[in-house]
Structure 1
Amino acid sequence: MSKSGFDIKATMREAQALVKAGKLAEAIASASRVIQRFPLHEEAHLLLAKIYFHLDQDENAIEHLQKAFSISHKTVIDSKAYYTILNRFVSRKSYALLEQASRWLVNLRPKDGIAWDYLSIACLEQQKYEDAHEAALRASKILPNNPHVLNNLACALTSLERCSESLEVLKRTVELAPEMATAYNNLGNAHRFLGNYEEAIESFSRAIQLAPEMAYLYNNLGLTYRSLDRCQSAIEVYHQALQIQPDLYQVYPNLIEAYRHGGQIQQAIDCSRSALQLTDQIPEIWAAYGDALRDGGYLDAAIEAYIQAVSFRKDDHSSFNRKVYTNILFCLNYHPDLSAEVIFNAYREFDQRFAVQLRDRWLPFDNEKVPGRRLRVGYVCQSFYNQVCKYFLIPLLEKHDRTQVEIFAYAQIPFEDEVTEHYKKIVDHWIPIRGMTDDQAVAQIRADKIDILIDVSGHTNSNRLMIFAQKPAPVSLHWLEYGYTTGLSAVDYFMTDSPSVTGDCDHLFSEKIWRLDGPAYVYRPDIRLAILNESPASQTGIVTFGSLSRTTRINHRVVRIWAAILDAMPNSRLVINSGDFKDPLVQEEMAGRFMRYGIERSRLDIGFSSPSWEVLKRIDIGLDCFPHNSGTTLLETLYMGIPFVTLQDRPPVGRIGSSVLMGMGRPEWIATSEEEYAQKAIILAHDIEGLVHMRKTMRQEMEASMLMNEDAFARSVEKAYRQMWQIYCEKGSA
């Protein structure tokens, strides 16, 4: 009994009994009577917090919870009482409220490791990864042997792309808690991000053994299979995830991607549409839908889907928005009806949205400004493995004069193979950066005192352009892959040749144009399967035109001209062959475009087979695409003794064919209009003897050309690097 005859204990028992009976309003009244007389009664405030939480009155719940914490006079707080409230926030996914409550709690009790852990969870779920890491680190210092705390610390590190550090934390976590499925899941994620795919599969499989009911584990395993290009295995485990949890919508973008990379383009499109019927509020599904439409050749629809994807996140600086915007740029590059000026404006917008903000990180350089000294040259590339870049990059790296340049390879590779091992042998320094954040990679490049830094990837997937946006080296440039401007005002030069970018096109690039003395690249083919054969036309009397290009290049303009060529040459056929045409539905859709111009289906050989050399044996004349020309396949075509016709269009992607033919010394196959393009193809088709002769002699002609003069190309590139460096030494900037 307390003052004024008020019995606190009896009133509290009454309030608790009313809670058990479900009479919450009466319980609130009873507990409130206690507080009216005794405002510092901790138990009453805790009870009111619980009641208000059940009534979804979260603000009131937090208010009473915090009052209870503040007035507690106990040496050891009743942790169960207030952790229960925080757990309910977790179960209800009320992460903003969880952050509010836990942040207040750690300010009151900074040595409470569990409170810091709750704060890390709240920040993780809201993608506030820096805050999550700070909170988890504080928790781990207080509770160094708590596996749940360590697990959350590892999650934060992985989210910050500090995967090597995350891996070490997780190894300790699974030692402490070998039956903890979430720890094995996070271990798998860290291994996957670092490219340790077999270890990732082992970790995810262990997690599934421990918790087969957790659908997201199957999703993460599928992502690993996809990284290994085991698309069918990925599709199977994604479906397992959806069987367990049909509303796990995050699986759909991954399933769409697996269908797409597995060559099932129409299935990917259909899956996207089904997913969007379930929910149209997930940006990743819209982005995956855009990818599928793009690979199907539906560029306008793809751009619309990408715009939907970026509309959800107001933060234009987000990495997701940046990646989607890169895909928009990709589609614009291939668009048949847009001007070069319109497309370039989109690149400038990319710079303003995502790169210019990093200018405050530009720092002075202490590289020694001696024009003639040996240069430290760095190549940032994601293609240091068995990928088409090897035909151009390996001969340059091998032929570099090591008395003039010291080579650093900054490798952003998804995995290593035998070609990777060769790259490691032909460079002076091998630095993997896949596990580094942009800031860490910039710090590494600066520590290496790189003089000239080359971006080889452009706006391809998994590029590291934001490294270049921080200007980590005195001179920077883009070369080789992707083929167009980076759009970044931070990059100094675009290294190319005169046929690719004529003198009237410099305004279409953010970089200064640097034209090499000869071609923009040198080509070293894989000759193991490139066995020459007789011209098919000489055997059958039927001229076979062909292209080994992707769907995005074969637009309505290309189809119209190709159909006109076939119509003018009744005794001819057309081969279209690339990985985009694995899907029979995509094959028939493309055939339908030609059939609308009156071309019989029997004259069209559309599909996919590998290697490319075997396909080229069936072709007499190559047909280049426009306004975005083909790439490596043009060089392969010439190497097999096959002429090709190209249309000079938008620089530089519409002049790849012109660059190749000028390097070969065959400008007569370059057209400047669609009509001239068709005429040149038809003229070649009427000269069967000429086709037979070229089949036998063109390889030797190509080998003698500048396209395959590796030493000359390496000297041309080194001369460019030296002159760029001299400009920097004299002016302090490009």
Structure 2
Amino acid sequence: MSSAAHPIHDRLAQLAQQREFAQCLAQAQAHVGLQAEDAVAWGWLARSAFALGDGAMALEAAQRVCELQPGNAQAWTTLGDVRRHLGQLDNALAAFQQALQLVAAATPPTSQSQAALAVLSNKVGDVLYTQGQFEPAQKAFEQAVYLAPCFGQAWFHLGIARMGLGHYAQAQAPLEQALAHGHPPAQAQSALGAVFLELGAHRQAHAALSQALALQPEDTMVLNNLSIASQNLGLLAEAEALIRRKLALQGRDVNGWINLGNVLRAQARLDEAVGAFRHAMSLEAGNATGLMAMGLLCHETQALADARRYLSEAVASPAATQAQRLDAMVELASLHATMGEHGASETLFMEVLSARPHERKYWGKWLFALNNHPFKTPHQILEQYQAFATQCFGAATPLPAAAAPPRLAQAEKRRIHIGYVSADFTQHPVRLFLQPLLAHHDHTRFEVSAFANLSGPAEVLPVYQTMVDHWHFTKGMTDHEVAEQVRNSCVDVLVDLSGHTGGNRLDVFALKPAPVAMSWLGFGSSTGLAAIDYFLTDTHAVPAQDDAYFAEQAWRLDRPFLVYRPTAGMGDPGPLPALAAGHITFATLSRSIRFNDELFAAWAQVLLRVPGSVLRIDSKNMRDANLVRQTQARFAAMGIGVQRIQCGFHSPPWDVLRSVDVSLDCFPHNSGTTLLESLYMGVPYVTLSDRPGVGRLGAAILQGVGRPEWVAHTVQEYVDKAVALASDLPRLAQVRASLREAMVASPLMDEAGFARSVEEAYTRMLESRGQGVRAESGFLA
């Protein structure tokens, strides 16, 4: 072996420095042809060939150097680089590790050797990451940044490795360090944007990805992710423009077409969305994400048979990842529940939750379906809510204790601050109950804030705009960010209006950002969260014997737990339809998820005992012809002819209700808004009071309007009461003529009285929590 200095060595180094790699290669080749053991020349040959893209020649030369100088760490590093480039990952890893050992053995350690160790640790980590060995890769990158704290690329790689491990919250800091230490900002901001997307910090994601796109306007990954962030912020036109830019660059990108379909679907451009999804699947048959997207759209449009086919194919797709398969299974489980197939729904939910017991979004869908399950006892339902709380919030940590709220320090007393949390400050039916309360709040005693899980004022129904003192739009914010906003606003009572329905922010409540938390209205059942102190109700909706089935403490008003403001333009009830039709028309306007065999059997008994009567089932699910046929067939099997089961969907349903004599409530989960609409339209209903929470809504409403005689406590009593109502036409006509007046005069429509009762409840809640309330004034002191 020869490593003696030779004049050509300087010449080769000069050529390489000047990036004259072709000349460097030629001269190195000529030299080693004469002096085959000149390791230095072989080294320049290897580096020049590598720079020129000749991997085979570079590999041969690098191996020759290591044979000649096995103790040369730089030689092993070059060999590792070449092997890495050629995809020989195991051999590359071995070369880098050999170089590491040689540098580490050098004594005493110097700043130069420390820097070399950092570089080699980074290279080792890069190979391990490429092999999918994220845990050891993370350790290698951690060693690199420990040795060289200003090594931007190693910080970047550490962030990427943690992303690979799914540790997104831990990936943020290394990526920010990479940005601070000179790593190319386009890469760092792109990765940070991806991290923020995973963390649900969509505003931060949008900011980071916008910066990345400004630096690299044609980066298709950035265009894709920024489109997703924009969609999650409700910026749909922007999201569409971004994804179309991506598709202009990558027209055959399957995920791009799926994302375009999702944006179009969010804009209610359903035909265009179908076209985008189908184009995606034409590019890649069996794509699980595309199949699931089509299934969701079909479910939304009530093409339920098509939804079942697409979602089943997504579950069975060989190309599906585990996460995709589980997501598809959850959506298929929800579809089964929609169709009243609760056993199949439960089986799928249990399988999914067994695989991902801490997945919050899966639990929310399961608990919503569970409330409608016809065969579950209250205790069995309670066990599932307890399991949800343990799995999702067992380790939840409240926000750290803060200093005294600044407003308390500014004044001896202040108004009690109420914060309402919801995504439904829109046309959602919750408006019929929330607006009457907000409209009558006493703003001399109460300060009112809305924490709206919306993107901005444009999404808010105009009538809401002036009903609160402060608007906070939380869409795209993390739970901790929202919780900090609540606490910094000095909210005293934080009110959940959603339960487990879409757009809820229950995770914010788990952080305990306000002295008192309360749930009301949106779900009809416990949230399962012990972090929520109270459930606002009344003695009929939640009697004392049901307390054990609520994680919250029931706070009972001395009046109905809600107030109702009818939709404008409903029109008069009109005369009793049976007088002109010659037969009784029963009806339900409830969704099909609440239908079950025992309920249908009860309805069939009613129809059999009231000759000539018909049943109108009017809900959006009945837009599916297959479901209509199945429903009619189930009644036909019980002796009810097809012509007596009239299925359809009309919105708004006022003319339908004008054609109805008696409404039939569902059980074990009662209907909701449609019961109040029935009463206001002069249509009495019969209800079965049974299941805690959701199964006593009908009874509570009837108590509020002064009609407890229409409440049954057994199925047979339910049937008998419905038959009795339908069998006395003069009495039924009298009810028709007087029910709206009775409704208007009842506590159910006493808006100001309801607001005073709720405000008193807020005051007493704070008093019970030792918050210094002067109850006689309603102020905090």
Query: Do they fold alike, i.e. is TM over 0.5?
Result: yes
Deviation at 1:599, TM superposition (A): 1.4
Moved more, 81-90 or 605-614: 81-90
Q: Is 1:480 aligned to residue 514 of structure 2?
A: no
SS of the equivalent of 1:132 reads helix
Distance 1:206 1:21 in 2: 36
The equivalent of 2:218 in structure 1 is 179
Gaps of 5+ in 2: 5-35, 774-781
Deviation at 1:256, TM superposition (A): 2.1
Distance 1:501 1:75 in 2: 69
Deviation at 1:164, TM superposition (A): 2.2
The equivalent of 1:599 in structure 2 is 640
Distance 1:329 1:434 in 2: 23
SS of the equivalent of 1:375 reads strand
Instruction: Please give the residue correspondences for 1:653-732 in structure 2 after superposition, counting only pairs within 5 Å.
Output: 653-729=694-770
Distance 2:253 2:506 in 1: 36
Letter in 2 for 1:8: A
Deviation at 1:524, TM superposition (A): 0.2
Distance 1:646 1:120 in 2: 57
Contact 1:385 1:417 in 2 (8 A): no
Deviation at 1:300, TM superposition (A): 2.0
Deviation at 1:221, TM superposition (A): 2.2
Change (3 A) 1:88 1:235: farther
Deviation at 1:270, TM superposition (A): 1.3
The equivalent of 2:381 in structure 1 is 343
The equivalent of 1:8 in structure 2 is 39
Question: Which residue of the other structure, out of 336, 340, 343, is the alignment partner of 1:297?
Answer: 340
SS of the equivalent of 2:396 reads helix
Distance 1:96 1:75 in 2: 23
The equivalent of 1:570 in structure 2 is 611
Distance 2:595 2:160 in 1: 49
Letter in 2 for 1:154: G
Instruction: Please give the residue correspondences for 1:498-509 in structure 2 after superposition, counting only pairs within 5 Å.
Output: 498-509=539-550
Deviations 1:21-46 (A, max 9, x none): 98999999856634635455344542
Change (3 A) 1:13 1:383: same
Distance 1:731 1:350 in 2: 34
The equivalent of 1:441 in structure 2 is 482
Letter in 2 for 1:337: F
Question: Which residue of the other structure, out of 193, 208, 212, is the alignment partner of 2:232?
Answer: 193
Contact 1:371 1:725 in 2 (8 A): no
Distance 2:634 2:180 in 1: 65
Distance 2:54 2:699 in 1: 82
SS of the equivalent of 2:443 reads coil
Q: Is 1:310 aligned to residue 349 of structure 2?
A: no
State, as a whole percentage, how many aligned pairs show the same letter.
32
Contact 2:144 2:154 in 1 (8 A): yes
Contact 2:520 2:535 in 1 (8 A): yes
The equivalent of 1:366 in structure 2 is 404
Distance 2:598 2:477 in 1: 43
Question: Which residue of the other structure, out of 396, 416, 425, is the alignment partner of 2:437?
Answer: 396
Distance 2:490 2:727 in 1: 58
Contact 1:341 1:508 in 2 (8 A): yes
Instruction: Please give the residue correspondences for 1:237-256 in structure 2 after superposition, counting only pairs within 5 Å.
Output: 237-246=276-285, 248-256=287-295
The equivalent of 2:653 in structure 1 is 612
SS of the equivalent of 2:419 reads strand
Q: Is 1:60 aligned to residue 94 of structure 2?
A: yes
Letter in 1 for 2:310: C
Contact 1:231 1:261 in 2 (8 A): no
Deviation at 1:424, TM superposition (A): 2.4
Contact 1:460 1:482 in 2 (8 A): yes
Distance 1:243 1:95 in 2: 34
Question: Which residue of the other structure, out of 398, 403, 420, is the alignment partner of 2:461?
Answer: 420
CA RMSD of the aligned region, Å?
A: 3.6
SS of the equivalent of 1:324 reads helix
Instruction: Please give the residue correspondences for 1:74-223 in structure 2 after superposition, counting only pairs within 5 Å.
Output: 99=138, 102-143=141-182, 146-223=185-262
The equivalent of 1:323 in structure 2 is 361
Distance 1:86 1:666 in 2: 73
SS of the equivalent of 1:575 reads strand
Change (3 A) 1:505 1:99: same
Change (3 A) 1:68 1:690: farther
Q: What is the number of residues matched between the two proteins?
A: 727
Distance 1:84 1:536 in 2: 82
Deviation at 1:414, TM superposition (A): 6.6
Deviation at 1:418, TM superposition (A): 6.8
Distance 1:581 1:361 in 2: 46
Instruction: Please give the residue correspondences for 1:512-531 in structure 2 after superposition, counting only pairs within 5 Å.
Output: 512-531=553-572
The equivalent of 1:538 in structure 2 is 579
Deviation at 1:413, TM superposition (A): 3.0
Deviation at 1:13, TM superposition (A): 9.5
Q: Is 1:580 aligned to residue 618 of structure 2?
A: no
Distance 2:312 2:619 in 1: 25
Deviation at 1:330, TM superposition (A): 1.7
Letter in 2 for 1:179: E
Distance 1:84 1:366 in 2: 50
Q: Is 1:36 aligned to residue 97 of structure 2?
A: no
Deviations 1:567-598 (A, max 9, x none): 22230111111122221112222222212212
Q: Is 1:284 aligned to residue 327 of structure 2?
A: yes
Change (3 A) 1:459 1:144: same
Distance 2:99 2:351 in 1: 41
Distance 2:307 2:485 in 1: 40
Deviation at 1:675, TM superposition (A): 0.5
Letter in 1 for 2:39: I
Letter in 1 for 2:598: R
Distance 1:503 1:206 in 2: 60
Deviation at 1:308, TM superposition (A): 2.2
Give TM-score, length-normalised by structure 1. 0.90
Deviations 1:338-363 (A, max 9, x none): 11112112112222222231245463
Contact 2:55 2:86 in 1 (8 A): no
Deviation at 1:336, TM superposition (A): 1.2
Question: Which residue of the other structure, out of 355, 358, 371, is the alignment partner of 1:333?
Answer: 371
Distance 1:515 1:21 in 2: 78
Question: Which residue of the other structure, out of 296, 317, 335, is the alignment partner of 1:257?
Answer: 296
Deviation at 1:430, TM superposition (A): 0.6
Distance 2:263 2:95 in 1: 43
Distance 1:32 1:391 in 2: 80
Kindly name which structure, 1 or 2, has the bigger radius of gyration based on alpha carbons.
2
Change (3 A) 1:400 1:43: closer
Distance 1:267 1:579 in 2: 16
Contact 1:295 1:552 in 2 (8 A): yes
Deviations 1:687-707 (A, max 9, x none): 223333333321111111111
Question: Which residue of the other structure, out of 444, 452, 465, is the alignment partner of 1:411?
Answer: 452
SS of the equivalent of 1:519 reads coil
Distance 2:394 2:349 in 1: 22
Letter in 2 for 1:341: H
SS of the equivalent of 1:460 reads coil
Distance 2:660 2:268 in 1: 30
Distance 1:304 1:409 in 2: 38
Moved more, 701-710 or 462-471: 462-471
Deviations 1:196-249 (A, max 9, x none): 222211222222222222221222222223333444433332222232234643
Moved more, 712-721 or 169-178: 169-178
Distance 2:669 2:255 in 1: 40
Distance 1:229 1:408 in 2: 30
Deviation at 1:478, TM superposition (A): 0.7
Contact 1:200 1:224 in 2 (8 A): yes
Letter in 1 for 2:592: T
Distance 1:191 1:372 in 2: 42
Deviation at 1:661, TM superposition (A): 0.4
Contact 1:32 1:44 in 2 (8 A): no
